C-alpha cells in the first residue's frame, strides 16, 4: 500500500519522501482568490496560512522534486462546492498547476469535476471524502464523469470499504490511517474550521436536548458519545491496528491527515505507518499486532487509544 502525506512547504519535501511517503498532496491560495473570496470561502478546506503552500512558484518546485524522487503530487481543491463566480478563477488556478506538472486533483464538486475534466483530461481526478461516496453506485456515478480514484469517508468500516472496492475493481481507493478522526460525516457537515486557536467545532462542549422525553436509549447513547468529544483530541486519530485487514482488502493507499502540522510530526506519522505496514507482512498474530499498535499509539500521542479516535473501531478492544 502507498503512503499519502500532506505537504505545506518546500522545506518539507525531502524529509517526507525520505521517511517513506509515496505521494504528497496540498494546495495554495492564489492572490486573486485572496482578493475576491477569502472572506467567503476556503479554496481547499483550510483557513490558516500554515496549511498552505506559499505560492505557485513553490508548488512548481515541490512538484519537480517529488517527480525526481519517483513520487506524485495531487492538488487539493476539495471544497464541497464552488459558486459560478469562482469558476473562471479556478480555471486559471488549475491551468497554472497543470503546467507545473501536478499528477492529480482532489475534489468533491461535480460541476467543477466536469469542467476540469474537459479542460485537463490528462490529470488523475480523486473524489475527496467531501464527496461523501458511501456505496458502489455513487462511486460509479463519479467514475462516469472522470474520477478514477476515491478517498473513502471516515465513518466506513474496513469491511464496507472493501465491499465497495470489490464491486468497482477498475477504480483505486484510499483510506485514512492517522490524525484527524472526526465524529461527524465530513461530506454532510456544515461546521467551519476557522478558529485561530485551531479548536474545531466537534471539540467544543455543547449540549444536545431531546425534542421529546423520554429519549430513546439509542439517542441517549449518541448524546453521551457526542459530549465525550469535547474531552477528545481528534489529532490522535489512528487506524494502525487495522493495517493487516486493510492490506488484505482492495484498498491501495493509506492517507495521512495533517495539513498545517509541523514537518517533524508529519515525518513521525509517515515512519510509524511505514513501520506497521512492514510489521503486518511479518506478524501473523493479529492480537499481538493490535497490542503493538496500541502501544505505538500511546507512545506517539502520550495517551491510550479510545473508540472516539479509532478510525476503525470495529477492531478496538476496551481496556
Write the CATH number for 46: 3.20.20.70
CB within 8 A of 140, min separation 6: which ones? 168
What is the domain extent for residue 108? 2-315
Q: Cα–Cα distance between 219 and 297 in angstroms, integer?
A: 30
The strand pairing partners of 238, in sequence order, are 178, 310
Q: At 128, list the grid cell.
A: 475527496
Q: At 177, list the grid cell.
A: 490511517
Cα 1 to Cα 107, 149, 243, 254, 314: the distances in Å are 22, 14, 10, 7, 21
The pLDDT value given to residue 196: 75
CB-based contact 128:150 (threshold 8 Å)? no
Does the pLDDT of residue 206 top 80, yes or no?
no
3-class DSSP state of 275: helix
Query: Cα dihedral sign for 303, 202, 134, 318?
Result: positive
The pLDDT value given to residue 317: 61
Q: Cα–Cα distance between 180 and 166 in angstroms, integer?
A: 26
Does the pLDDT of residue 318 top 50, yes or no?
no
Number of domains in the chain: 1
Of residues 27, 35, 50, the one with CA closest to residue 106: 27
pTM of the model: 0.92
Name the DSSP class of 170: T
For 247-258, how does the pLDDT look when each residue is reduced to its tens digit (9 = 90+)?
A: 999 999 999 999
Query: Cα dihedral sign for 57, 58, 64, 67?
Result: negative
Does the pLDDT of residue 262 top 50, yes or no?
yes
- Average pLDDT on 55-78 reads 97
- Average pLDDT on 156-175 reads 97
Q: At 252, list the grid cell.
A: 491501495
How far is C-alpha 226 from the geometric centre of its chain's CA atoms?
A: 21
Phi-psi region of 189 (alpha: psi -120 to 50; beta: other; left: phi over 0): beta
CB-based contact 129:151 (threshold 8 Å)? yes
For cell 476539495, the residue is 78
Please report, rounded to a whole number, the percentage of residues in the chain having pLDDT higher than 70. Answer: 99
For cell 482488502, the residue is 249
For cell 494502525, the residue is 240
- Average pLDDT on 274-286 reads 94
Q: Cα–Cα distance between 127 and 151 in angstroms, integer?
A: 6
Q: Cα–Cα distance between 201 and 234 in angstroms, integer?
A: 11
CB within 8 A of 220, min separation 6: which ones? none
Q: Distance between the two ends of the chain, CA-based, in angstroms?
A: 30
Q: At 270, list the grid cell.
A: 509517515
Q: Cα–Cα distance between 72 and 101 in angstroms, integer?
A: 9
- Average pLDDT on 34-53 reads 90
Q: Cα–Cα distance between 58 and 72 in angstroms, integer?
A: 15
The strand pairing partners of 131, in sequence order, are none
Banded model confidence at residue 319, pLDDT cuts 50, 70, 90:
very low
Which is it for strands 124-127 and 253-256: parallel, antiparallel or unpaired? unpaired
Of residues 290, 294, 289, the one with CA closest to residue 279: 289
3-class DSSP state of 301: helix
Amino acid at each position: 500500500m502507498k503512503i499519502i502525506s500532506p505537504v505545506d512547504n518546500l522545506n518539507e519535501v525531502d524529509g517526507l519522501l525520505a521517511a517513506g511517503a509515496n505521494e504528497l498532496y496540498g494546495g495554495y491560495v492564489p492572490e486573486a482568490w485572496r482578493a475576491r473570496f477569502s472572506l467567503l470561502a476556503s479554496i481547499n478546506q483550510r483557513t490558516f496560512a500554515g496549511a498552505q503552500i506559499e505560492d505557485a512558484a513553490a508548488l512548481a518546485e515541490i512538484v519537480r522534486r517529488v517527480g525526481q524522487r519517483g513520487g506524485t503530487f495531487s492538488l487539493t481543491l476539495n471544497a464541497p462546492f464552488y459558486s459560478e463566480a469562482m469558476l473562471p478563477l479556478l480555471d486559471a488556478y488549475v491551468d497554472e498547476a497543470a503546467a507545473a506538472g501536478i499528477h492529480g486533483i482532489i475534489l468533491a464538486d461535480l460541476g467543477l469535476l466536469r469542467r476540469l475534466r474537459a479542460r485537463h483530461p490528462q490529470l488523475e481526478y480523486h473524489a475527496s471524502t467531501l464527496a461523501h461516496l458511501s456505496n458502489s453506485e455513487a462511486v460509479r456515478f463519479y467514475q462516469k464523469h472522470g474520477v478514477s480514484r476515491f478517498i473513502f469517508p471516515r465513518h466506513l468500516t474496513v469491511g464496507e470499504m472493501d465491499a465497495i472496492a470489490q464491486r468497482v475493481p477498475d477504480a483505486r481507493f484510499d483510506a485514512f490511517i492517522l490524525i484527524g478522526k472526526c465524529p461527524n460525516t465530513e461530506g454532510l457537515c456544515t461546521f467551519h474550521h476557522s478558529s485561530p486557536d485551531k479548536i474545531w467545532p466537534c471539540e467544543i462542549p455543547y449540549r444536545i436536548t431531546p425534542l421529546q422525553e423520554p429519549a430513546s436509549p439509542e439517542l441517549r447513547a449518541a448524546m453521551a458519545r457526542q459530549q465525550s468529544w469535547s474531552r477528545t483530541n481528534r489529532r490522535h486519530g489512528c487506524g494502525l491496528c487495522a493495517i493487516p485487514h486493510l492490506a488484505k482488502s482492495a484498498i491501495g493507499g493509506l492517507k495521512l491527515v495533517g495539513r498545517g502540522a509541523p514537518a517533524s510530526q508529519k515525518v513521525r506519522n509517515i515512519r510509524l505507518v511505514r513501520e506497521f505496514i512492514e510489521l503486518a507482512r511479518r506478524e501473523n498474530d493479529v492480537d499481538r499486532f493490535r497490542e503493538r499498535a496500541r502501544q505505538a499509539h500511546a507512545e506517539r500521542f502520550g495517551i491510550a487509544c479510545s473508540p472516539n479516535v479509532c478510525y476503525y473501531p470495529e477492531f478496538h478492544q476496551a481496556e
